[in-house]
Chains A and B, each alone.
Chain A
Amino acid sequence: MATSSSRLLPEPTPETAPFWEGCRRHELRIQRCNDCDRFYFYPRPYCPHCLSDDTEWMTVSGEGILRTYVINHRPMPGFAGEAPYVTAIVELAEGPRLMTNLVNVEPVPANLPVGLAVTVVFDDVTDTVTLPRFQPKDRR
C-alpha cells in the first residue's frame, strides 16, 4: 500500500516495542504466558488471562483465518486513493486476534469468505514503521 504523510502511524510504547521491532525485521512476534500457556495480544507485560508477569515473546507462524471485516469505501487518513480497502480481524493460528488489512486480493465479498486462510505480509510503510497485513494463503 502506498505511504502517505497523513497516515496515522503507531507510536510504540515500552511494552509494545518488541512487537514493532519484530515487524521491522518481518517477524510476527506476540507474547505467551508461561504460567497458563496461552498466547495473547495486544502486547502488555502481564498476562490478561492470569496476570502473571512470566511472559515471553515468541515468533509465531503468521498464519491465521479471516474472522470478520469491512470493505471501506470512504478512505480514512492515510488511505486516500486506496478505497475500497479491507479492514479485517484475523485470528492467528496461535489463538489471539488482531486488526489488520487484507491485501493482494480484489476487495469484493466473494473473495473474502469468513474462515479464509490468510498469511502475514509485512509492509514497510516508513523507515521506522512496518505494519503486518495479511493476504489469502492461496492467492488466486
Chain B
Amino acid sequence: MPVELRGAVAVVGAAETDRIGVVPDMSAIQLHANAARNALRDAGLDKGQIDGVASAGMSPVAVADYLGIEPSYVDGTSIGGGSFMLHVAHAVAALTVGYCNYVLITHGESGRSRLGGEGWAGLPPTSAEGQFEVPYGALGAASTFTVPIVGHMAKYGTTEEQIASVAVATRAWAARNSRAMKRAPITVEDVLTSRLVAWPIHLLECCLVTDGGGALILTTAERARDLSRPPVYILGTGEGVENVGISTMRDLTDARASRRSGERAFRLAGLGPADVDHLMLYDAFAHTPMFALEALGFVKPGESGPFFAEGRSAPGGDLPVNTNGGGLSYTHTGRLGMFAMQESVRQLRGEAEAQVPGIRTSLAHGIAHFFSAAGTVIMSNQL
C-alpha cells in the first residue's frame, strides 16, 4: 500500500526577496538568505525549527551555514530552472514519512548584477552538448531552447502571431503587478517588430534577466494547522527527465519530461486539467508555456497557439496563466521555478496583486535546461 501523499504536506511559509529586479547591492547567497528570513517570518517559525534545506544554483550546505542552520536533510537537486519543483516533490516524500519536520527551499540569483553565486558551470567542450551542439552556435538559451519551435510551426501550423500572443497576455498580467519589471501593455505587432533574436523568436518573446530570490517552507498538513498562515496543501507532484541538450529530444514537438511530470502530479492529486483554476508555466521564452500547456494535457498537441491567441490565458480568460507577469515581464533571475510557485501560493492565499477570484487549485510547472527535465506541483487552499 503506497503512502498517501495527497494533501499530506503544506506550504506554511512563502516569500520573495525584499526587492526584485535590479538588486546590485546583494550577493546571490544574500538573496537566498533574505528570502529565507522573509519566509520564516511569514510562517511564524524560528530558524531552529528548520531541519531540512534545499536549494539549486547554490549548495544547500552553503545556504544552511549562512543562515546558521544545521539540517539533517538536504536536497541539492540542480537540474535547471525548475529544480525547486523537484525540491517540493522530494520534501513531500521526506516530510510524509517523518524523515524531517520543516523543509526550507531557497532560491537566490544575481542573474543581472552577477554578484557571487556558483553560476552556471557551462558546457565543457568534452560534454555531449559541448561536442555536438555548442560548435554550431547552440550556446545559450536564446539559440537552444528556441530550436524546436519551427518544428511545431511546421507540424501544427502554429504562427508567429500566436507565439507573440503569449508575450502579450503575460504583459497584460504584469501591468497589474506593481513588482513586475515590465508593465507597459504591448501588442502582437510590438512583439513582431521587436528585434529578432533567433527567428522565429523576437526580443519581447525572451525572458528578462534579473536579480532576486524566493523561499518556501513546507511541513506536514497536521503541523500546518497550528501555524499562523492558511495552509496551501500540496495535492500532487511529479518530475520527469528526458534529454541532454536539445537535439536529443525524442519528439521535437513534445516536451516529454513535462508530460511525465504532469501525469504523475495529476495521478497523485486525483485531479485532471479541468480541475485546475490557475496555471504557472515556466516562460523562459514565449513558446515554453505553449509546449507545457500541451504536454500537461490542458489542450491537445498543436492547440496551444490558438489557446493563447484567443486570450484564454489573459486577464478575463478562462484559464489564467502566469498572473505575476512571468519570466517574460515579472522577473527571471535564471531559475524561474521558485517565482512560479510563489505566485501559486499568493493566489491560493488570496493575496496576489492580480488576484483570480474564487481560485481553489493552482498548478506550477517548471522546465529545466532546454526541456531536458521538468517538475510539476499542484496546490490547493482546500483538501
Contact = CB atoms under 8 A, between A and B. Distances in A.
B139 interface: yes
Given A10-B125, A71-B199, A87 B147 contact: yes
A59 B142 CA distance: 33
Given A8-B134, A68-B252, A87-B136, A76 B154 contact: no
A51 interface: no
Given A9-B125, A12-B131, A70 B196 contact: no
Given A73-B199, A87-B137, A101-B137, A42 B142 contact: no
B193 to A, nearest CB: 14
The size class of the interface chain A forms with chain B is 35 or more
Given A67-B151, A89-B252, A113-B154, A72 B137 contact: yes
A137 interface: no
B147 A70 contact: yes
Nearest to B153: A114
A70 B139 CA distance: 12
Contact of A74 (B143, B200, B246): B143
Contacts of B151: 67-68, 89, 114
A113 to B, nearest CB: 7
Contacts of B195: 73
Interface in B174-194: none
B199 A7 contact: no
A47 to B, nearest CB: 15
A131 interface: yes
Interface of B: 124-126, 128, 130-140, 142-143, 146-151, 153-155, 195-201, 245-248, 252
- Closest A-B pairs by Cβ, 10 of them: A68-B151, A114-B154, A10-B131, A71-B199, A70-B198, A11-B125, A99-B247, A76-B137, A73-B196, A99-B133
Given A89-B151, A101-B137, 18 more contacts: A8-B139, A10-B135, A11-B126, A20-B131, A41-B132, A68-B149, A72-B198, A73-B196, A76-B143, A87-B147, A88-B147, A89-B147, A99-B245, A100-B136, A114-B150, A114-B151, A114-B154, A131-B135
